[in-house]
Structures are given as C-alpha cells and as structure tokens.
Amino acid sequence: MTEQLRLMAVHAHPDDESSKGAATMAKYVSEGVDVLVVTCTGGERGSILNPKLQGDAFIEANIHEVRKKEMDEAREILGVHQSWLGFVDSGLPEGDPLPPLPQGCFALEDVEVAAGALVKSIRSFRPQVITTYDENGGYPHPDHIMTHKITMVAFEGATDTEKFPEAEFGPVWQPLKLYYNQGFNRPRTQALHDALTERGMESPYGDWLKRWDEFERVERTLTTHVPCADFFEIRDKALIAHATQIDPDGGWFRIPMEIQQEVWPTEEYELAKSLVDTSLPEDDLFAGIRDNG
C-alpha cells in the first residue's frame, strides 16, 4: 500500500492510552505509521491514585492542568499525536444505590452530538484503523462506555453527510477497520500468573483470577495479537508519566520485564468491524489493508 498508514486510538481519559495498547502504538510509530490518540475527557474527576502525591493541595486544585501536562509527556514518549475532544470527566460513581452522574459530564451527553466531535477528528486525520473499548467499556466506567458508543456512531457517521454534513464536519472518510482493546484478558493474566508461581515468585494476579471466577466474566474473542515486546519499556515509561494515576512501585510494574517479554510478547485486540478481507487470527491491525494498495 502506497498511502500513509494511519491509526487512531480513541480513549476516555489521559492515561488510558498508556495502559491500553501503548506498546502497539509505539511499534507502529517506529514503522512510520501516523498515530493519533483522541482523548475524550480531561480526567478532571479522576482520583489521585499515586499514594506519594495524595494530599498535595496544588495537584488537587489544578488536577485538569496537571493531567494535561502528564498527557503531553506520555505523548512525547510514545511518539504519537494527541488531541482532546473537550468533554468533562464523569467520575466513577460509587455506592449503593449509585449516585447520579454530575450534570454536564461526558456520559450524559447526547450520543449523536458527542459523536460529531469524533467524526470531525476522523475526517480530518483519515485513519484506516481505529481502536477503542468494547460495549462494556473494558470495565464499566461511564466514560469508557460512552467512548464506545460515540466511536461506533462515528465509525459509520464519518461517511454520513446527512447526519454530519461536510460543510460542518469536513469531507467524508471511511475507516476500514475497528478494534476493541482487549489487553486485560484472562489467557494473558493466567499465563503471567503461572510463570511467576512456577518460578517461586509472588504473583499480583491471584485476586484478579479469583474475581474472574466469582463474576463469571464472559471471555472476549481475541482476534489479533500484535507482537510488540520490544516496546514494553516505552509503554511503562509512558504510563509512569501519568504520575497522579500510577505508582511506579505499584502492581503494574511487579513483573520482571524479561518474563513479560518471554511469556506474553503481544497486545491483544478484538476485531469488531472490517470493510476489508482479512484472515483470523491476525498479528497486524493493518492486515488486509497493507495488501490492498
């Protein structure tokens, strides 16, 4: 294929891009693919999860700007472009019964209206491939579920001049493939857990696996395994850049890099839509596109 390859990753908050598919993006950047991360919200209602920064009055008072700077650093590390859709973080409601979502937040936006902002980005960037979350959001955060909803509408709407006229949203563009991030899958978790216990090492995944059994979580279909082990260190650096969200001494980083690279050297995706012929399983998000130039 002679045309520039372009990948768009649609995420809910700053830091999601570094915890979901980051090594894949870094790999494609190294191959000359143009990669754009679209971040739907500013993460304004995200908790400060790094215990070393909890109680910092400046961060608490300026969380929006702090998370923006963290995103800038992660973007530079990954080598991607990044843009904001400008919606307001919904927060993660907790309690029984759950409290209502705050007025004006992303999850309460009209889906068609919110999708229009993403249609503009798609028509401007012109990606052949888009990645996002499945209908459960990967986990049931209202912003992740809303991200799924608007991406599905925008994938189709990018060519719909009636709903999204060219005068307002730009010339039409048809993305060719849509994937769901499925990096947090049971086969990967089990493989890493087993590798650690076989070596006499403590595994951080024991409770994860128990919860999987307790909640009888439906397994997703992993259609695409992208080899990207050489970029795991870049992934981790980008994740650590989101300092308010990630403790560098926490569970994310307890597994030695050499074990990760040996036992599970890929990131996984579920092919949700394809307008090109491809054979499953795949090892390339652009399978069926590179061959049709």
> Are 48 and 192 members of one domain?
no
> Are 141 and 226 members of one domain?
yes
Is 13 labelled as part of a ligand binding site?
Answer: yes
Q: How far is Cα of residue 92 from the mean position of the Cα atoms in its chain?
A: 17
Query: Which DSSP category does 99 fall into?
Result: P
Inform me whether the pLDDT recorded for 252 exceeds 80.
no
Is 16 labelled as part of a ligand binding site?
Answer: yes
> Are 230 and 265 members of one domain?
yes
- What tens digit of pLDDT does each residue of 202-226 get? 999 988 888 887 766 678 899 999 9
Is 55 a member of any domain?
yes
Bridge partners of residue 266, in order along the sequence: 227
Look up the domain containing 204 and give its range.
186-219
> Are 194 and 226 members of one domain?
no
Long-range contacts of 105-109 (CB under 8 A, 24+ apart): 105/45, 105/142, 106/12, 106/40, 106/41, 106/142, 106/143, 106/146, 107/142, 107/143, 107/145, 107/146, 109/146
The pTM score is 0.95
> Are 215 and 103 members of one domain?
no
- What tens digit of pLDDT does each residue of 28-45 get? 999 999 999 999 999 999
How much is the pLDDT for 186? 93
Domain count, the chain: 2
Q: What percent of the chain has pLDDT over 90?
A: 80
How much is the pLDDT for 217? 67
Is 82 a member of any domain?
yes
> Are 39 and 138 members of one domain?
yes
Is 293 a member of any domain?
no
> Are 104 and 242 members of one domain?
yes
> Are 29 and 119 members of one domain?
yes
- What tens digit of pLDDT does each residue of 46-67 get? 889 889 899 888 998 999 999 9
How many degrees, rounded to 5, is the angle at CA 127 between CA 123 and CA 131? 115
> Are 74 and 154 members of one domain?
yes
> Are 152 and 199 members of one domain?
no
